[in-house]
Structure 1
Amino acid sequence: MFDVVVIGAGPSGATAAEDLTRSGHSVAMLDRDGRIKPCGGAIPPRLINDFLIPDNQIVAKIKTARMISPTGRNVDIPIEDGFVGMVDREYFDEFLRKRAEIAGAKRYTGTYLRIDRDGDGTHVVYRDKTSGEERSLHTRLVIGADGARSGVAKAEVPGGEKINYVIAYHEIIEAPTTSAAYNPIRCDVIYDGVISPDFYGWVFPHGKSVSVGMGTGIEGVDLKNATAELRARAGLTECLTLRREGAPIPLHPMDKWDNGRDVILAGDAAGVVAPSSGEGIYYAMVGGRVAATAASACLVTGHTRDLQLARKLFMREHKNVFKVLGAMQNAYYRSDERRERFVSLCHDVDVQKLTFEAYMNKRLVKARPMAHLRIGIKNLAHLTRMIPATRV
């Protein structure tokens, strides 16, 4: 019998598996092989420090973020005193899985089917990739880290069948040798209804390659056509396409992350993707860590109420950030006129400094009350149309 079976071994599941094995627990890690999640790949310095990511996993170091409005207005935000790291999920996820395996987690490859329970305990049933046979893993607890359309969440946790999400699509292409519109140390974020009517598009450097993509929650939007338009605008149409990927991204954390018995959710399965930005890697890994903490506590005390610790610990630190980002998305992503105002607001020096301090450190900055006041006044002026959309 394992102490914990982790279903899904992306950044969240692999982090949970590694933390639990390093705490002395026996862990099985079940994952499908060969799946690469579409992702811009940005990771902040706090992730690099908190999760000990070596420099060889960083494929690019970004020094500037460019916001592009529906009218084509560019606002460049410098990243002072540091950088935003970029990773390629094809290699980054496998690095995390191997690190968990080296720490002691047992790795299994197959497709999760269900959780069975009998007098002997809990059994995770899966279809083995090699043999095609149904097999099971006997365990005391389960961590469901199997993505936004989590089968574990749907079957085991109240509300798990109702997760709202947007669809993200991107193409990994060869980086151009020359391009007037492309900069290998700059991330471009495109707020334009032609690209995405309710989210945004991106061009994110990955060293020798580039992630070009967009997201939307509106049915009927042609993601491939929108990405082709994005590539054309960035002068990347002729670049060789290496792979194409699409997947759902949840919109907000679930109200409950455990079943009160033997299951905890983590990462996208729990809905922990930041509103507005769509950032997921950092929050997925934090979600894996708090799930491991809750599972470890439950294993030690025998109290199933300790499973609730995962959500409590996560929300205690990140709830306010999610609220602010959610309010910003609701206010500014609803029309091109609002997107134009949002990019205009990003020209403000106070906005730039506070935004990136919060992004880099994953905390709201409270030490500059006058800056917050100035931003609040400008924000109100834009939302009430007291000033033109293109005015700083």
Structure 2
Amino acid sequence: MIMFDVVVIGGGPSGATAAEDLARSGHSVALLDRAGRIKPCGGAIPPRLIADFDLPDDQLVARITTARMISPTGRHVDIPIENGFVGMVDRKDFDEFLRARAAGAGATRVTGTYLRIDRSDATPAVLYRDKASGEERRLDTRLIIGADGARSTVARDEVPGADRIPYVIAYHEIIEAPAAAGSYDPARCDVIYDGAISPDFYGWVFPHGKSASVGMGSMMRGVDLKQATADLRAASGLSDCATLRREGAPIPLKPLDRWDNGRDVVLAGDAAGVVAPSSGEGIYYAMVGGRVAAAAASACLATGRARDLKLARQLFMREHKTVFRVLASMQNAYYRSDERRERFVSLCHDIDVQRLTFEAYMNKKLVRARPMAHLRIGLKNLAHLTRLVPATRI
């Protein structure tokens, strides 16, 4: 029997990153992925991800230089992305690229469905259903990284409280996109803040080169995601475009308070809840989550101390806690009604808001170098939340 240092469960951006980092550090690692699943995702990534994770240009299907925010009344503001761009990837190809890169670094790829963890021996074993044979098999290991997505089975089995995480149900359609049609612009991301599309989140139209992602999300039960997406396609002039695939899945909106079981399991990515509130951005944070989980696992293997698994959450929160807190406050303040969404789009007309927002997005940290800009934004935000100005006031 092969004894692995770490078994990573889940081969999305988080799991693949963790497996690659561990393999490059000299650890024996197995990457268990069930294969065939593509997560619904707009596919946006910031320049910092490209730099931090050495992403080659051929993985980008588009470079977006403008973002359009659209209000419930149809007002919109086009925000130029200065000194950078929003990269676009197609998860169908991007995730497989990351898995293949992990295997190239030395990780052992295993295709199957996670079943449970067996602790009948001195060290744990991951039991899984082999995809090719249908047989139950095992992977003996010292540690386990659960990167099996939102509503993670590993998290539910191993980490108290993991089953109570709030989430949005996201749905999108990948379509064959024309060069231009209706309001669709292949060089622009559209974000639609309209209760008719999503009563508590937003809709999107994101170009992917020859294709595009059109979708929305909601926490509310009873919302017809497919009809809302059809309405969004119609409003964008994309109803007649061929549909290549349809995908839906939950997206968590709050990091778990605990990411490890205090013994031999640590969570990463969506399983740990690291999707940004308000924006729903997850790829960058998933890959960071995979990296810190790998660092925590390496530390635990070196010291033999199970408490070192807590390093994953500590390292992540040290850098990103404030951003998550600010984004959660923004979502709670502005996504609750169309009147609030109208005010939010009004705020987006502000040049200070535009510059600070995309500087923070591209660099993944709050910009503190412009105190007067922050003061002006704070005053305008207060004026809108207290209704001292009309909702359509720019």
Q: What is the TM-score normalised by the length of structure 2?
A: 0.99
Q: Which amino acid aligns with 2:318?
A: R
Q: Does 1:235 align with 2:237?
A: yes
- Give the SS at the match of 1:324: helix
Q: For 2:123 and 2:27, locate their aligned partners in 1 and report how far apart those are by CA, in whole Å.
A: 17
Whether the 8 Å CA contact 2:32–2:111 is kept in 1: the answer is yes
Note the alpha carbon deviations across 1:88-146, whole angstroms, 9 max, x for none. Answer: 00000000000000000000000000001023310000000011010010000000000
Unmatched tracts of structure 1, length 5 or more: none
Q: For 2:210 and 2:95, locate their aligned partners in 1 and report how far apart those are by CA, in whole Å.
A: 18
- Give the SS at the match of 2:330: helix
Q: 1:354 aligns with which of 342, 353, 356?
A: 356
Q: For 1:88 and 1:157, locate their aligned partners in 2 and report how far apart those are by CA, in whole Å.
A: 31
Q: RMSD value over aligned CA atoms?
A: 0.5
Q: Which residue of 1 aligns with 2:331?
A: 329
Q: Does 1:14 align with 2:16?
A: yes
Note the alpha carbon deviations across 1:337-378, whole angstroms, 9 max, x for none. Answer: 000000000000000000001000000011110000000000
Q: Does 1:198 align with 2:238?
A: no
Q: Which amino acid aligns with 1:91?
A: D
Q: Does 1:70 align with 2:72?
A: yes
- Give the SS at the match of 1:30: strand
Q: Which residue of 2 aligns with 1:252?
A: 254
**Deviation at residue 277 of structure 1 after TM alignment:** 0.1
- Give the SS at the match of 1:121: coil
Q: Which residue of 1 aligns with 2:217?
A: 215
Q: Which residue of 1 aligns with 2:159?
A: 157
Q: For 2:179 and 2:20, locate their aligned partners in 1 and report how far apart those are by CA, in whole Å.
A: 39
* Bigger mean CA offset, 159-168 vs 187-196: 159-168
Equivalent pairs: percent with the same residue?
A: 80
* Bigger mean CA offset, 14-23 vs 116-125: 116-125
Q: Which amino acid aligns with 2:377?
A: I
Q: Which residue of 1 aligns with 2:227?
A: 225
Q: 1:59 aligns with which of 49, 55, 61?
A: 61
Q: For 1:187 and 1:175, locate their aligned partners in 2 and report how far apart those are by CA, in whole Å.
A: 13
Q: Which residue of 2 aligns with 1:124?
A: 126
Superposed, which structure 2 residues align to 1:1-392 within 5 Å? Answer: 1-392=3-394
Q: Which amino acid aligns with 1:82?
A: G
Q: Which amino acid aligns with 1:342?
A: F
**Deviation at residue 161 of structure 1 after TM alignment:** 1.6
Q: For 2:77 and 2:45, locate their aligned partners in 1 and report how far apart those are by CA, in whole Å.
A: 21
Q: For 1:199 and 1:139, locate their aligned partners in 2 and report how far apart those are by CA, in whole Å.
A: 40
Runs of 4+ residues deviating >6 angstroms = none
Whether the 8 Å CA contact 2:30–2:108 is kept in 1: the answer is yes
- Give the SS at the match of 2:324: helix
- Give the SS at the match of 2:309: helix
Q: Which amino acid aligns with 2:69?
A: M
- Give the SS at the match of 1:118: coil
Q: Which amino acid aligns with 1:216?
A: S
Note the alpha carbon deviations across 1:12-67, whole angstroms, 9 max, x for none. Answer: 00000000000000000000111000000000000000000000000000000000
Q: Which amino acid aligns with 2:358?
A: F
Q: For 1:281 and 1:388, locate their aligned partners in 2 and report how far apart those are by CA, in whole Å.
A: 36
Q: For 1:178 and 1:293, locate their aligned partners in 2 and report how far apart those are by CA, in whole Å.
A: 45
Unmatched tracts of structure 2, length 5 or more: none
Q: For 2:145 and 2:210, locate their aligned partners in 1 and report how far apart those are by CA, in whole Å.
A: 35
**Deviation at residue 177 of structure 1 after TM alignment:** 3.5
Q: Which amino acid aligns with 2:125?
A: H
Q: What is the TM-score normalised by the length of structure 1?
A: 0.99
Q: For 2:325 and 2:364, locate their aligned partners in 1 and report how far apart those are by CA, in whole Å.
A: 13
- Give the SS at the match of 2:346: helix
**Deviation at residue 163 of structure 1 after TM alignment:** 1.7
**Deviation at residue 6 of structure 1 after TM alignment:** 0.1
Q: For 1:140 and 1:166, locate their aligned partners in 2 and report how far apart those are by CA, in whole Å.
A: 34
Q: For 1:249 and 1:107, locate their aligned partners in 2 and report how far apart those are by CA, in whole Å.
A: 25
Note the alpha carbon deviations across 1:159-194, whole angstroms, 9 max, x for none. Answer: 112121110000000011341311111000000000
Q: Which amino acid aligns with 1:100?
A: A
Q: Which amino acid aligns with 2:185?
A: N
- Give the SS at the match of 2:254: coil
Q: For 1:348 and 1:76, locate their aligned partners in 2 and report how far apart those are by CA, in whole Å.
A: 11
